[in-house]
Structure 1
Amino acid sequence: MADTTPLIPLPRSAARLLIAAGAVATIASTFMSWTWTPDFPGDLTVYGYPAGLQVIALVAGLLTLLFSLTLWNVRGLRRLNPTGATTPYLFIALSGFAVCWYTALAIAVDLGGLVNLDPGGYVAVVASALPVLGALALPRPGNGARHYFTKPEQPAPARPLTGWTPYAIIIAGIALGLLAFTYGIGISPDESETFIGFSLLVLFAAWALVHAGQLDRFSALCAQHKGFATTAAFVAAAIFPFTQSDDHNANLGVNILIFGTVALGLNIVVGLTGLLDLGYVAFLGVGAYAAALVSGSEYSRFAGTQFPFWAAALVGMAASLVFGVLIGAPTLRLRGDYLAIVTIGFGEIFRIAVNNMDGTSGPDITNGPDGIPAIPDLKILGFDFGDQHAVAGATLGRFANYFFLMLLITALVVLVFTRAANSRIGRAWIAIREDETAAVAMGINGFRVKLVAFALGASLAGLAGTVSAHVTYNVVPTPYQFAGSTPPNSAFLLAAVVLGGMGTVSGPLIGAALLYLLPEKLTFLQQYELLAFGLALVILMRFRPEGLIANRRRQLEFHETGQLDVPDSPELPDSTVGVTKAGA
């Protein structure tokens, strides 16, 4: 029998009082001065006006207070924690504790000692510790610390929502995600301390929502209203450029979409078909170079030739498709590590080949290391993507224009991915991934099915490459390698798929956003980012091997029967889940 004795022996009334009082005191501390000098990022010297990390601590305090009210049986708020577990209270309390204590340590390190803390800083440190003590005074989830990381049993399904309620909840959830994303992307790279504090808040708050069962319920609600949820997500993405005054943030957004779209193409190969492709970024390069050659650059081998965008996009896709077939046809009879080695070789061959096609070491096609610069901006139906445009009272710059174009392409790729995954050949891909020998014995042509996946994934990467060539103005060989200091490269693309969740639609997009934003905002990690991401993947594989956004089948594979109640999801047919559960 599990021992639920609290780690701190206090009455329940005292525990909930500690949580609520600590949350209120944390909120109050954010209206005080935390340091005497404005040299620390965010200027935390002003009384009555939270800024920088104080705003993040304020949000953490409000969330802690909101969760603490469920312990007081406040009417209507018990739905915040439908599982009734005690772990959500601990994780939401840790969000404020982590932000406040991190800020105090950062002030001491950056400014030279704790003497630089003002009274508000000390109040925040003490106040944020009280909810943690209160949460530890609640009954434990079980024996050992590992139970704090184990997802509790899910509550009984909530009663069906009627009318506009489910749509309102979906809109509110997506709007909250947009708010968090715009705030995070708007933090300057010079304020890495603020971004770290923001990341701590998001991490612990998301952890609390997972243990409270809220994310599962929201996922199930989105699955029930898939069309509306998908449309709302793309509308929220379209609103993003209007929330930014700096076009650089729109540049980050368009690169995230390019990175995420390529990761979705790789998800077909890795997530659905189970083929380990470690040279996939080469297909992005093939599409970019093919489009650059016919897009009107004066440095192109075919200078003077300028195809319209739709034709250049088809050229990039066709070139990547051809290379996908040429590489896949002789190699896809290999499996596992042998296929991975061959794909690494293809990626390196592509990079070395375009590096040598300079007219000296090889034919004059790609200008070698100099690449193809001066690629002109797109013009579609008289709309110049290089000019600023006033829309709805907002001025949209060059990168915002390309963001909208890439958003349409991402929507197209998502449509192709979902339709292909739910089609007959998509079922064949999944069968090949699960057991190729059994699939072939059931009459599936394994080689043909894998070649189609390889070719489709390559063509989608080539489509993204055509936009990438115009966004960056030039195409050079450097980025198209297995691993490097900046994404996209094959290692980061594979990490985005694994981190986000193999076989899902939203997983690679979220994984790409995280892997692109973190090096951009945490500049001090750029020399160690491969080490940092390696450690992150190890931790992820330990606690959530199915990825941040889980495919239902993979959840059932990674968790023992009876330990996981998986919500409905469009990623896997219900009939197949029933068979999988029966065989688990």
Structure 2
Amino acid sequence: MSDVTTTPEAPETEVQTAKPLAWPLGLAGVVLVIAGSFLSWSYDGTILGDLSINLYPGSLQILTIIVALLALVLLLAEKGPLTKLGGWLDATLGLRALGIWLTLYMVLVLVAIATESDGLINVNPGGYISLVGAALILVSSRMLPLRQLRDMSEARLPGWFEILSIAVLMAAALFVAAFALGLQDAWSFVLCLVFIAAVVAGLFRTGSMTWVGHAAQRNKKVLTLSAFVVAFLFPFTQGGSDANMSIATQVLVFSATAMGLNIVVGLAGLLDLGYIAFLGSGAYVAATLSNSAFATIGWKPPFLVVVLVGACVAALAGLIIGSPTLRVSGDYLAIVTLGFGEIFRFSMFNLDGNNGPNLTNGPNGIPGIPDLELFGFNFGDEHNVAGIDLGRFSNYYFLLLILIGGVILVFSRLNNSRIGRGWVAIREDEKAAEAMGVNVFGLKLLAFAVGAFLAGLAGTVKAHQDGAVSPDQYIFLESAFLLAAIVLGGMGTIAGVLLGATILKLLPEKLRFFSEYRLLLFGLLLVLMMRFRPEGLVANRRRLLEFHEEDEALAEAVEAEHLEAEEQLVVEEAK
């Protein structure tokens, strides 16, 4: 690998001096964390995956060792053989992030042991040693100086190294996802989340993710291919577990639906609080046209026809609700769409043969929907591939993966098209867009129709995967979760919506330990996001500028400098 090269030199700034004990304290902290992880943490071997064996680290102890090794790399970049790398990485900020999260991790470990057993008396010395080590790393990071470093976006490495880095990150994401889903204990899952937060925070604070982001932009095709390869390989890491694959399929259905809503909310800026009705429209079409004994329509077309019919019915519902209501905006539009969602649900209740025609069997819904069978492949059968058993949910997972690939393709093409630019213009300033000749009403109606079409596609597959549909599945809370996934992940982005949908579908399933407090934790998460990262976990540049005043000031300053330079150029040309 060639050395990192760049055109501009690092800016000359006043370098603060580190306190003499900072570096030794950090090294001592790393040694204590690793040494403590090789010792027993808990007297009770039945909790947290058995942390009671000396010299044989459990899975949670291995995660601690990984964070400690990352801290060691940053210490060596600050003062040691990796100082050349330290000229690029913000080692101090990265070390602070690792110190904070590692200390929190160890505190939660002690709390978990005390909660699951009979108190702190069951915590063995190894746990306290690792906690002291984490605290020393945190103290050391506060004693190290902050330096102004080079811009990581200017770093250039060979193309093969960038591609290899993307592949390694994707493989690490696959491993972490498989490991996290395999954790049955709620406390172990929470600690795994803290570990992920520690690593991600450390990478962001060092500036490494800035380089990764630019490398990904330079290798978009490789990144996309790697993401789909990782997603395709995921079922092979679950050992035929139907429980985990059921969660995975729910995540994909939720993601595909959220991607459709992202067109309405993220691109066009229209607040829709009844979007779950479009998913329900597709699901009910698939159910009534299925071979279920409770289906009320005699026509049984092939599933590929059902998919198109369900999507078109959902799009038609979008046009019906959009035509009379899209001339209002803001809170009024939100109220109207909320009402539409409730009208859909009550309509499904009333189409029972008593209050209206018998189409949906009323509150009983349509159960007994058979599994799909396409081209002789039965999605309900178990299949063995490369010696690995793939169950029913794995089969639907692959189908949904193809579906969401198509949804992402449609979204990205529309986003980068003239229509997408029109939607963004409407979102930013509807009056200005209309004054510039944008067909505001037509584009709003198109956003509703396309978003509903994509939700209807997901609904047709969901009906067969669930095996039943009923009105209770399509309540307002589901629409709220869809909207929250977009806000949490990042409005108008693809990766952000996928990440937000994954978080909001995965966490409630894995945190059943907290019972009724799950919604409280969810609300707290949204409040924290609105306070510290209102643009979402994965935000585009426009929203970053919208939500950060200092960036806006910087953008205005840069624009002023450009205008001044242009004026000087005009004056010189005139002379």
Cα distance change on mapping 1:368 and 1:429 into 2, 3 Å: same
**Cα contact 1:519–1:526 (8 A) shared by 2:** no
Q: 1:15 aligns with which of 17, 22, 26?
A: 22
- Hey, what does 1:548 align to over in structure 2? 537
In the TM superposition, what is the alpha-carbon distance from 1:511 to its structure 2 partner?
A: 0.3
In the TM superposition, what is the alpha-carbon distance from 1:514 to its structure 2 partner?
A: 0.5
Q: 2:34 aligns with which of 23, 27, 39?
A: 27
Q: What amino acid maps onto 1:310 in structure 2? A: L
**Cα contact 1:53–1:103 (8 A) shared by 2:** no
Q: What amino acid maps onto 1:296 in structure 2? A: N
Quick check: 1:235 aligned with 2:229? yes
Quick one: distance in 2 between partners of 1:468 and 1:126?
50
- Hey, what does 1:335 align to over in structure 2? 329
Residue pairs, 1:173-188, within 5 angstroms: 173-188=169-184
SS in 2 for 1:58: helix
In the TM superposition, what is the alpha-carbon distance from 1:63 to its structure 2 partner?
A: 2.1
Across the aligned residues of Structure 1 and Structure 2, the Cα RMSD in angstroms comes to 2.4
SS in 2 for 1:395: strand
Quick check: 1:424 aligned with 2:418? yes
Stretch moving more, 153-162 or 93-102: 153-162
**Cα contact 1:20–1:69 (8 A) shared by 2:** no
**Cα contact 1:262–1:461 (8 A) shared by 2:** yes
Percent identical pairs in the alignment equals 46
In the TM superposition, what is the alpha-carbon distance from 1:315 to its structure 2 partner?
A: 1.3
Task: Calculate the TM-score normalised by the size of structure 2.
Answer: 0.90
- Hey, what does 2:113 align to over in structure 1? 107
Runs of 4+ that moved beyond 4 A: 561-566, 578-583
Residue pairs, 1:75-154, within 5 angstroms: 75=82, 78=85, 82-84=88-90, 86-139=92-145
Quick check: 1:159 aligned with 2:158? no
Cα distance change on mapping 1:582 and 1:537 into 2, 3 Å: farther
Q: What amino acid maps onto 2:156 in structure 1? A: P
Cα distance change on mapping 1:22 and 1:541 into 2, 3 Å: same
Residue pairs, 1:208-219, within 5 angstroms: 208-219=202-213
- The one-character-per-residue Cα deviations of 1:31-50 (angstroms, maximum 9, x if unpaired) are 21111222323111112222
- Hey, what does 1:401 align to over in structure 2? 395
Cα distance change on mapping 1:11 and 1:161 into 2, 3 Å: closer
Quick one: distance in 2 between partners of 1:11 and 1:216?
26
Q: Which has the larger radius of gyration?
A: 2
- Hey, what does 2:475 align to over in structure 1? 481
SS in 1 for 2:384: strand
**Cα contact 1:373–1:473 (8 A) shared by 2:** yes
- Hey, what does 1:301 align to over in structure 2? 296
In the TM superposition, what is the alpha-carbon distance from 1:13 to its structure 2 partner?
A: 4.2
Quick one: distance in 1 between partners of 2:125 and 2:84?
34
**Cα contact 2:89–2:208 (8 A) shared by 1:** no
Cα distance change on mapping 1:563 and 1:440 into 2, 3 Å: closer
Q: 2:509 aligns with which of 506, 511, 520?
A: 520
Quick one: distance in 2 between partners of 1:244 and 1:262?
25
Quick one: distance in 1 between partners of 2:104 and 2:496?
27
Q: What amino acid maps onto 1:516 in structure 2? A: K
Gap runs ≥5 in structure 1: 142-151, 484-488, 567-577
**Cα contact 2:274–2:342 (8 A) shared by 1:** yes
**Cα contact 1:56–1:197 (8 A) shared by 2:** no
Cα distance change on mapping 1:424 and 1:31 into 2, 3 Å: same
- The one-character-per-residue Cα deviations of 1:495-541 (angstroms, maximum 9, x if unpaired) are 10010000101111000100111111111334133332222112112
SS in 2 for 1:91: helix
SS in 2 for 1:390: strand
Cα distance change on mapping 1:280 and 1:137 into 2, 3 Å: same
SS in 2 for 1:199: helix
SS in 1 for 2:292: coil
Q: Which has the higher helix share?
A: 2
Q: What amino acid maps onto 1:185 in structure 2? A: L
In the TM superposition, what is the alpha-carbon distance from 1:580 to its structure 2 partner?
A: 12
Cα distance change on mapping 1:379 and 1:158 into 2, 3 Å: same
- Hey, what does 2:569 align to over in structure 1? none
SS in 2 for 1:528: helix
Quick one: distance in 1 between partners of 2:358 and 2:15?
75
- The one-character-per-residue Cα deviations of 1:115-147 (angstroms, maximum 9, x if unpaired) are 111121222222221111111212368xxxxxx
- The one-character-per-residue Cα deviations of 1:335-368 (angstroms, maximum 9, x if unpaired) are 0000000000000111111022222233211111
Cα distance change on mapping 1:515 and 1:364 into 2, 3 Å: same
In the TM superposition, what is the alpha-carbon distance from 1:581 to its structure 2 partner?
A: 11
Residue pairs, 1:275-354, within 5 angstroms: 275-302=270-297, 305-354=299-348
Q: What amino acid maps onto 1:162 in structure 2? A: P
Quick check: 1:453 aligned with 2:447? yes
In the TM superposition, what is the alpha-carbon distance from 1:334 to its structure 2 partner?
A: 0.6
Quick one: distance in 2 between partners of 1:160 and 1:230?
21
**Cα contact 1:104–1:125 (8 A) shared by 2:** no
Task: Calculate the TM-score normalised by the size of structure 1.
Answer: 0.89
Q: What amino acid maps onto 1:38 in structure 2? A: G
Quick one: distance in 1 between partners of 2:266 and 2:488?
12
Quick one: distance in 2 between partners of 1:476 and 1:27?
53
Q: What amino acid maps onto 2:165 in structure 1? A: I
Stretch moving more, 208-217 or 332-341: 208-217
Q: What amino acid maps onto 2:410 in structure 1? A: V
**Cα contact 2:153–2:214 (8 A) shared by 1:** no
In the TM superposition, what is the alpha-carbon distance from 1:564 to its structure 2 partner?
A: 9.6
Quick one: distance in 2 between partners of 1:582 and 1:433?
27
SS in 1 for 2:200: helix
- Hey, what does 1:433 align to over in structure 2? 427
SS in 2 for 1:478: helix
In the TM superposition, what is the alpha-carbon distance from 1:55 to its structure 2 partner?
A: 2.7
Cα distance change on mapping 1:266 and 1:526 into 2, 3 Å: farther
Matched residues, number: 547
Quick one: distance in 2 between partners of 1:101 and 1:564?
40
- Hey, what does 2:5 align to over in structure 1? none
Quick one: distance in 2 between partners of 1:537 and 1:154?
34
Quick one: distance in 1 between partners of 2:319 and 2:343?
16
Quick one: distance in 1 between partners of 2:420 and 2:71?
44
**Cα contact 1:561–1:581 (8 A) shared by 2:** no
